[in-house]
Amino acid sequence: MTLRRILLIGTLVAAMGGAGLVGAVAGGGAIYLAVRDRLNSPAASPAQTAAEPASQPAAAPAPSLHVDVSTAIEDAVAKVGPAVVTVVNVDQGSGSGVIVSADGYVITNNHVVEGANRLQVIYRDGQTVDAELVGTDPLADVAVLRVSGTLPGVAGWGDSDALQPGETVIAIGSPLGDFRNTVTAGVVSATGRSIETSSGYQMEDLIQTDAAINHGNSGGPLVNLAGQVIGINALVVRGAGATSDQAEGLGFAIAGNTAKALSDQIIVKGYVSRPYLGINGTPITPDLAWAYNLPTQWGVYVQTVGRNTPAAQAGLQPGDIITQIGDQVIDGDHRYINVLMHYAPGQQVPLTVQRDGQILTLEVTLGERPAS
């Protein structure tokens, strides 16, 4: 091999090596720049950098699930607030109410208007007008008033059966009678609650809420975020006595569907049509049964039977113990008055009765409870 050929081959090898080195450097530089950009990108994670090709598009961001509750509350209050009123039982006290009809009908509690000689309503702007009592239902603590003239607003009903625990609700009313149209908010703590009243009747299907309710809020609306009335605020439980726990945030409202059904009857009839048996009786409890050696722990002991009443016509006698009405047994969860109220006037139902050690079944056609 000549010297010239050796020089040519050396030159060629050197050129090829240089080209390879340049290519390697260029390729390595490109990879370094690409990796650096991926690492510096805030949308990339180490796992994505190692596993995904550089050309793969970034995933679209998840849609926001944020709900502006404050704005929803403001909108609901703006919608219902003008229809909320202060109900004044002149010379006795005050409560709250809500206008639910363009005809001027106002829903409130029976205990707000009980014993009233004169009723007035104060609108949110301070205007005071006289109100007429249309009718009441003492058992469910519902009353209907009516006002005349230009109305400041009318509230609509919502479906209280659709409420869920945890749902945001708003109470509007006049606590202590001095703070008109006060707004408080909370959640539905529970539905389907029952509380026994002094008459022995259990108010059923109550809505429990932790929205602040005070004296004077009674009769005001409980409102959902759609600006619909889903309850009528009725009472608050705080406990009493030195040995009782002092509770907060235990407010209860009559379910809106119940309040609407009862108020519709009052508007049409002036009262709520309730079934009537025609007895005076004493509820039997386990303690009473033990004290008087009675043959059953639950029921109602018949003391007197009214003349020409459904009970008399069915053959009930003083000393009988009613233990069941229809297919519902009377017990601690199903009190006599509540069980009776599940039926309608004119309906024929069987009564299960204990008499002198025997169990009898008497058929009774229920009458209509006289309006109070």
Query: DSSP letters of 202-244?
Result: EEEEEEEE-S---TT-TTPEEE-TTS-EEEEEEEE----STTS
Written out in words, the top-level CATH class of the domain with range 275-368 is mainly beta
Q: Which fold has domain 160-254?
A: Thrombin, subunit H (2.40.10)
Scan for tokens 């990339």, then name that residue: 44
Q: Is 342 a catalytic residue?
A: no
Query: pTM of this prediction?
Result: 0.74
CB atoms within 10 A of CB 119: 23
Per-residue pLDDT of the chain (372 residues; tens, 9 = 90+): 444 444 444 444 444 444 443 343 344 444 344 434 444 444 444 444 444 444 555 555 555 555 577 889 999 999 999 999 999 999 899 999 999 999 999 999 999 999 999 999 999 999 999 999 999 999 899 999 999 999 999 999 999 999 999 999 999 999 887 889 999 999 999 999 988 876 667 888 999 999 988 888 999 999 999 999 999 999 888 665 555 555 667 899 999 999 999 999 999 999 999 999 999 999 999 999 999 999 999 999 999 999 999 999 999 999 999 999 999 999 988 889 889 989 999 999 999 999 999 999 999 999 998 765
pLDDT of residue 237: 80
CATH 2.40.10.10 in the chain: give the residue spans: 160-254
CATH 2.30.42.10 in the chain: give the residue spans: 275-368
Which of 369, 350, 370 lies closest to 360 in space, CA to CA? 350
Catalytic residue among 94, 96, 137, 141: 141
In angstroms and rounded to an integer, the radius of gyration of the C-alpha atoms of the chain is 37
Q: Residue 145 has which token pair? A: 């008033």
Q: Residue 147 has which token pair? A: 């006002």
Q: Residue 111 has which token pair? A: 């205990």
CA 271 to chain centre: 25
Scan for tokens 């009262």, then name that residue: 271
Q: Is 244 a catalytic residue?
A: no
pLDDT of residue 61: 59
Q: Is 334 a catalytic residue?
A: no
Q: Residue 102 has which token pair? A: 């363009």
pLDDT of residue 215: 84
Catalytic residue among 137, 218, 263, 320: 218
pLDDT of residue 371: 67
